[in-house]
Chain A
Amino acid sequence: MGYLLLLAVATAITLGVLLFRTHRALWMAQYQIRLRDHERATVFRFLNEIGSRITRRLDLDQTLEMVVEFCCGATRAEAGAIFLRDKEDPEVLQARVVQGLFPPLHEVASGKILSKRKFLSDFVKKERIRVGEGIIGLVARNGESILIPDAAADSRVPQSANELVPLEDLILAPLSVRGKVLGVLVLINKKDEARPEAPFDEQDLSLVTALADQASVTLDIVRLYEELSEKQRLEQELHLAHEFQAALLPTRMPEIPEIEIFGTSEPALEVGGDYFDFIEVDEHRLGIVVGDVSGKGIPGALVMATLRATLRAEAPGKTSPREVLRKVNSQIVRDTKESVFVSATYGILDRRTGIFRFARAGHEPLLCCRAENSELSSYEPNGIVLGMVEGELFDLLEEGEVDLRSVGTVVLYTDGVPEAMNTAREEYGVARFQSLLRRNAGQPSQQIVHTVLDDIARFTQGNPPHDDITLVVLRWIGEAAYEAEVESVRAG
């Protein structure tokens, strides 16, 4: 009897602990979602503000001030600064904008300057910091954000900084484009009235990194714009939009042993607006998107930035491409003018099964081709472009599914491929494109992309493209990779 009672009590305690853990896990999950929502909402607000600011006037100092002000407000930082690489000597960084009481973040030889508050900002701005030197130089060299919740306990923070401005906690984030660090954003001393003692934490770091990521591409454009004369500016606006656009494209292809993935986007001189991206959904799934924004120039590029930010925020953890596109659509409908829309196909690739589930929001059909019999299938489930309608009409969006193990190769592309034009104003056409894919279905992904681009170049005979050309090719090599491995084991 005593044993049974003990067992009952033990079971009750175990169940209680399990329930508590489950409840806590659920609460934590909800908390994380709320935090992610907050981060996402802040990034959108930032994009809107920076977008409307640069549409009114492209001015580097004003843009930088807006970025620092916004980031200080969003994280409750007391002060902040942006350090940029020097134009003449890119190995040197200098503070371009300083807001609030901001101390130098490297060893200062003399304490004299620091005793005068009013000169502090000028002092910080005059200092030249070499890449790799001090904590700012470290971020510029490594291109990675740093969170320091307790400055006094961190050897990387010079203690001389504390003499005038008590330095409690700080966040440093690189401003980088295409892997090149343009500068460093620094925020110091979190002062949240609701939690006065709380220092910067991982959530703040994540938010600042996301904001810095969005700010970098805009800064790159504004900086380039400032370097041009008025006449050149008019001529170069589209070129700048391309630069901006290029900065939004992935620089590396995902590396998955079972699947070969290759994508490229060739910008046109005139229209533009193509985009593709790879997003990690979870440890087994990869999100792949190919899109085309209808607007051109800087407004079009800004819509693309919104699309990229929304997708990157919505995609992680979600296994339904339709649901992700529904969320993205709501955001784009709210953020863009009536006349701008985006066509996009978003799919989720499961590397374990080779299944590619996708939804097509008014985008070109998805093509699949088998190497064995050169059979080509075109998939065009129903779906309306993003940014035009919400509710019932948009919800007509359907999902499709293909098994990469049986179809072999999947091709995503934009209309720039079939609509490429030669000097006689004839279009390259879907038929020629599909026939080329049939003949090259067994080739590696990168090879297929280059074969198509070469064929388009042959067809257009040097006629400059009037629209961007984007291609993303996925090819299942799971079995082949496995067989090669077995073969090498046998041989070795």
Chain B
Amino acid sequence: MKTYDLRIHEPEPGNGARRVEVLGCLDSHTVVGFEKSLSELLESSQAGYLLVDLSQLNYISSAGISALMGLTHRLRKRGGEVVLLRPTEKVYRVFRTLGFTNIFTICDNEAEARKALSS
């Protein structure tokens, strides 16, 4: 059984950006919980900027990528942005092959991510 966890951090001072960490595996089973939690977070907080830490995500399926795409659409519509932080080499390779590196904002470290969010 693949594991999955989502850690949601408190709003950051300043721009109110939220940081979440996705752990384990994001596939067609675990994506349901991921989408539900993120949807609740966005409805309750009105946060425009989201930093998604993928450094502990081992596997992402097409369903997981669709969920990240949906999230990106939703935040861009309200003038915000999603930054994907430190994806593992394997997850990054999946993004690159599918061409999602053209769509997602992906950063190697937090400083770069904060810069991307503030720009």
Contact = CB atoms under 8 A, between A and B. Distances in A.
Contacts of A168: none
Contact of A393 (B62, B63, B102): B102
Interface string A361-382: 1111100000000000000101
Contact of B98 (A296, A339, A343, A393): A343
Interface stretch (B12-20, B47-55, B65-73, B78-86): B65-73
Contacts of A478: none
A28 to B, nearest CB: 39
Interface in A392-416: 393, 396, 415
A382 B66 contact: no
Interface in B63-118: 63, 65-67, 69-70, 73, 97-100, 102-103
A286 B52 CA distance: 44
Interface stretch (A254-262, A383-391, A434-442): A383-391
A362 B103 contact: no
Interface string A133-154: 0000000000000000000000
A339 B32 CA distance: 13
A244 interface: no
B100 A380 contact: no
Contacts of A385: 98-100
A338 interface: yes
A343 to B, nearest CB: 6
Interface of B: 28, 62-63, 65-67, 69-70, 73, 97-100, 102-103
Main secondary structure of the interface of A (DSSP, over half): loop
Contact of B73 (A294, A338, A364, A365): A338
A225 interface: no
A13 to B, nearest CB: 57
Contacts of A393: 102-103
Given A338-B66, A362-B98, 5 more contacts: A338-B73, A380-B97, A385-B99, A388-B69, A389-B103
Nearest to B2: A425
A363 B99 CA distance: 8
Contacts of A380: 97
A341 B66 contact: yes
A397 B102 CA distance: 10
A365 B103 contact: no
A383 to B, nearest CB: 5
Contact of A338 (B63, B70, B99, B102): B70
Interface of A: 294, 296, 338-341, 343, 361-365, 380, 382-385, 388-389, 393, 396, 415
B62 A362 contact: no
Given A388-B69, A388-B103, A393-B102, A341 B62 contact: yes
A417 to B, nearest CB: 13
A260 B65 CA distance: 36
Contacts of A338: 66, 69-70, 73
Nearest to A430: B93
A339 to B, nearest CB: 4
Nearest to B98: A362
Contacts of B66: 294, 338-341
Contacts of A294: 62-63, 65-66
Nearest to B93: A430
Contacts of A362: 97-100
A382 B62 contact: no
B97 A382 contact: no
Nearest to B69: A388
Contacts of B73: 338
A396 B99 CA distance: 9
Of A296, A361, A388, chain B has the most CB atoms within 10 Å of the CB of A388
A364 B103 contact: no
A384 B98 contact: yes
5 contacts: A294-B62, A338-B69, A339-B67, A341-B66, A385-B100
A361 B99 contact: yes
B99 A384 contact: yes
A384 B100 contact: yes
A382 B70 contact: no
A380 B93 CA distance: 12
The 3 closest A-B pairs by CB, nearest first: A384-B99, A294-B62, A362-B98
B97 A363 contact: yes
Contacts of B98: 341, 343, 362, 384-385
Contact of A365 (B28, B63, B97, B100): B97
